[in-house]
């Protein structure tokens, strides 16, 4: 399932830069397989909980698997969303649009996060899972700057507003992919170390206040 959503994102990258409708179609086609796998994994998790009543590490594994499959499906949804944006306006972007939005880097970082996550899951490597969090910071920061960049590009290319807004939307989708991939890392850490990391930063901020 992780390999499928990684493939979706790689195809999204190529389709974005080449305005390739066929690749965009492939992304949407893969989403059906991702959805099917999520349902299958959810059913297996439910059966394990009902039949075996797992505890401790086994229970954490089942709960993590359930949440990971859900987040992977949502990553697939975001990839499909990017593909749909591309269908709406099948136009090649200007080089400076790609450069200013840092789309090449955003795709590369998002894809590398998924590949790191695959390795972390295979090796139960929580250190690698934590490295994913730092990569997510880049996607978050770039997303924060995207509105200003979009406004500047619209002034420069007033006849390409729809294209610029499409690229802006892709930035937002990639930022969301980063957040969801970070969730995968948190679930792996929960399974292996029994540590809950969700909302930890928010709790620290509240304590400081």
What the block records as the tokens of 104 is 């090449």
Per-residue pLDDT at 201 exceeds 70:
no
Tell me, what's the pLDDT at 204?
52
* pLDDT tens profile 19-58: 888 999 999 999 999 999 999 999 999 999 999 988 988 9
Give how many domains the chain has, as a whole number: 1
Burial classification of residue 129, based on how many CB atoms lie within 10 Å of its CB (0-12 exposed, 13-18 middle, 19 or more buried):
buried
Per-residue pLDDT at 202 exceeds 70:
no
The HSE-up count of residue 41 (CA atoms within 13 Å, CB side) is 21
Place of tokens 């292996």: 192
pLDDT band at 194 (very low <50, low <70, confident <90, very high): confident
Q: Which domain holds residue 113?
A: 2-199
* Residue 179 covered by a domain: yes
* Residue 131 covered by a domain: yes
165 alpha-carbon distance from chain centroid: 20
* pLDDT tens profile 51-92: 998 898 899 999 999 999 999 999 999 999 999 988 777 778
pLDDT band at 137 (very low <50, low <70, confident <90, very high): very high
Average pLDDT value for residue range 141-157:
97
Mean residue pLDDT of the chain comes to: 91
* Residue 204 covered by a domain: no
* Residue 208 covered by a domain: no
Whole-number percent of the chain with pLDDT over 70: 94
Burial classification of residue 96, based on how many CB atoms lie within 10 Å of its CB (0-12 exposed, 13-18 middle, 19 or more buried):
exposed
What is the spatial distance between Cα 201 and Cα 171, in angstroms, rounded to a whole number? Answer: 24
Tell me, what's the pLDDT at 199?
55
* Residue 27 covered by a domain: yes
Place of tokens 């620290």: 204
Per-residue pLDDT at 8 exceeds 90:
yes
Tell me, what's the pLDDT at 195?
81
Per-residue pLDDT at 161 exceeds 90:
yes
> CATH code at 98?
1.20.58.220
Average pLDDT value for residue range 119-136:
94
Sorted by sequence, the CB contacts under 8 Å of residue 99 that are 6+ apart come out as none
C-alpha torsion sign, points 195, 196, 201, 206: negative
Tell me, what's the pLDDT at 46?
93
Per-residue pLDDT at 206 exceeds 70:
no
Tell me, what's the pLDDT at 57?
87
């Amino acid at each position: 399932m992780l390999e499928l959503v990684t493939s979706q994102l790689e195809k999204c990258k190529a389709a974005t830069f080449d305005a390739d409708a066929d690749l965009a179609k492939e992304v949407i086609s893969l989403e059906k397989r991702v959805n099917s796998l999520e349902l299958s994994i959810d059913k297996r998790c439910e059966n394990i909980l009902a039949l075996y009543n797992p505890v401790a590490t086994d229970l954490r594994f089942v709960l993590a698997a359930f949440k990971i499959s859900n987040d992977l499906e949502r990553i697939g949804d975001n990839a499909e969303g990017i593909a749909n944006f591309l269908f709406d306006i099948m136009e090649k972007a200007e080089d400076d649009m790609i450069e200013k939005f840092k789309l090449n880097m955003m795709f590369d970082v998002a894809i590398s996060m998924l590949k790191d996550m695959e390795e972390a899951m295979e090796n139960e490597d929580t250190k690698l899972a934590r490295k994913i969090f730092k990569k997510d910071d880049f996607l978050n920061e770039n997303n924060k700057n995207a509105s200003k960049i979009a406004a500047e590009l619209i002034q420069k290319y007033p006849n390409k507003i729809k294209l610029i807004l499409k690229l802006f939307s892709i930035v937002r989708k990639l930022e969301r992919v980063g957040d969801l991939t970070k969730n995968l890392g948190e679930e792996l850490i929960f399974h292996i170390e029994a540590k809950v990391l969700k909302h930890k930063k928010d709790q620290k901020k509240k304590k400081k206040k």
